[in-house]
Amino acid sequence: MYFFEFMDGGLLGLNWWQLILATLALTHVTIASVTIFLHRSQAHRALDLHPIASHFFRFWLWLTTGMVTREWVAVHRKHHAKCETPEDPHSPQTRGLKKVLWEGSELYMAEAANAETMARYSHGTPDDWLERNVYSRFTWQGVGIMLGIDWILFGWAGLAVWGVQMMWIPFFAAGVINGIGHFWGYRNYDSPDAATNIVPWGILIGGEELHNNHHTYPTSAKLSSKWFEFDLGWAYTRALESVGLA
Ligand SMILES: [Zn+2]
Ligand SMILES: [Zn+2]
């Protein structure tokens, strides 16, 4: 009896709006991990992270996405190298916006299974004991542990929290950035691809909204360029830098 009462609200016993805030906070940490660690640091080498920071991001991405660093990096570098051609893994210009927006993670997974892409574009990504024996070997177990953590913290509502966490990156990164970020928005620069800035305030997706700036200056750690633009990932990067973690 006691156990079932406990499971109703979990350890934290949050009400509905506290649950929404907690879910947004959790997904926000995942977005920050993707934009700072996977995208700016690993794929483009635009910044160096202290091992404490990169280990935290790797662990968090394993818990909340199950994505393997070398696969994400290789697919993304190929996207820049072959942008808007039939070889681009997820161009809405060649595949249609609907396909990339709603099936972006399927396109990603199909390209991640391409051994040639992995061999050609994944250089410099983590290849240590942890990567070989845990993260790239047990890819779904991390999100399985996360499900247990959500259940303990939030009770039955934790299942919904977990579901939102699992959909967040496939939708906002693989769908919205890769799809809309090459389709709708404004352009500061006449980059050779179709990349656009979706909105000038990069908050919800950590600055990745400024995709036209990014395709124009891919090795810049800062994605904003006009005075009215804001890149939250850059603010976090500066904060990490101020404490010696970046
Ligand atoms: Zn792009
Ligand atoms: Zn990029």
Residue 5 lies in a domain: no
Residue 1 lies in a domain: no
Instruction: Give me the pLDDT at residue 8, please.
Output: 79
From the CB of residue 243, how many other CB atoms can be counted at a distance below 10 Å? 10
Residue 23 lies in a domain: yes
Residue 8 lies in a domain: no
Whole-model pTM: value is: 0.95
| Cβ neighbours for 222, distance < 8 A, ≥ 6 positions apart | 231, 234, 237
Residue 9 lies in a domain: no
Ligand 2 centroid – CA 226 distance (Å): 19
Over residues 146-177, the pLDDT tens digits come to: 999 999 999 999 999 999 999 999 999 999 99
Q: How many domains does the chain have?
A: 1
Ligand 1 centroid – CA 124 distance (Å): 21
Over residues 64-79, the pLDDT tens digits come to: 999 999 999 999 999 9
Over residues 186-218, the pLDDT tens digits come to: 999 999 999 999 999 999 999 999 999 999 999
Residue of 32, 37, 73, 40 lying closest to 55 (CA atoms): 37
Ligand 1 centroid – CA 88 distance (Å): 10
- Which ligand is in closest contact with the Cα of 196? 1
pLDDT band at 6 (very low <50, low <70, confident <90, very high): low
Reading the block at residue 106, the tokens are: 């399927």
Ligand 1 centroid – CA 61 distance (Å): 21
Write out the residue range of the structural domain in which residue 115 sits.
14-242
Over residues 12-37, the pLDDT tens digits come to: 999 999 999 999 999 999 999 999 99
pLDDT tops 90 at residue 2: no
Residue 4 lies in a domain: no
Ligand 1 centroid – CA 123 distance (Å): 20
Ligand 1 centroid – CA 171 distance (Å): 15
> Using H for helix, E for strand and C for coil, what is the string for the chain?
CHHHHHHHHCCCCCCHHHHHHHHHHHHHHHHHHHHHHHHHHHHCCCCCCCHHHHHHHHHHHHHHCCCCHHHHHHHHHHHHHCCCCCCCCCCHHHHCHHHHHHHHHHHHHHHHCCHHHHHHHCCCCCCCHHHHHHHCCCCCHHHHHHHHHHHHHHCCHHHHHHHHHHHHHHHHHHHHHHHHHHCCCECCCCCCCCCCECCCEECCCCCCCEHHHHHHCCCCCCCCCCCCCEEHHHHHHHHHHHCCCC
Residue 237 lies in a domain: yes
Instruction: Give me the pLDDT at residue 5, please.
Output: 67
Ligand 2 centroid – CA 2 distance (Å): 50
Residue 125 lies in a domain: yes
Size of the chain, expressed as the number of residues it contains: 246
Ligand 2 centroid – CA 26 distance (Å): 23
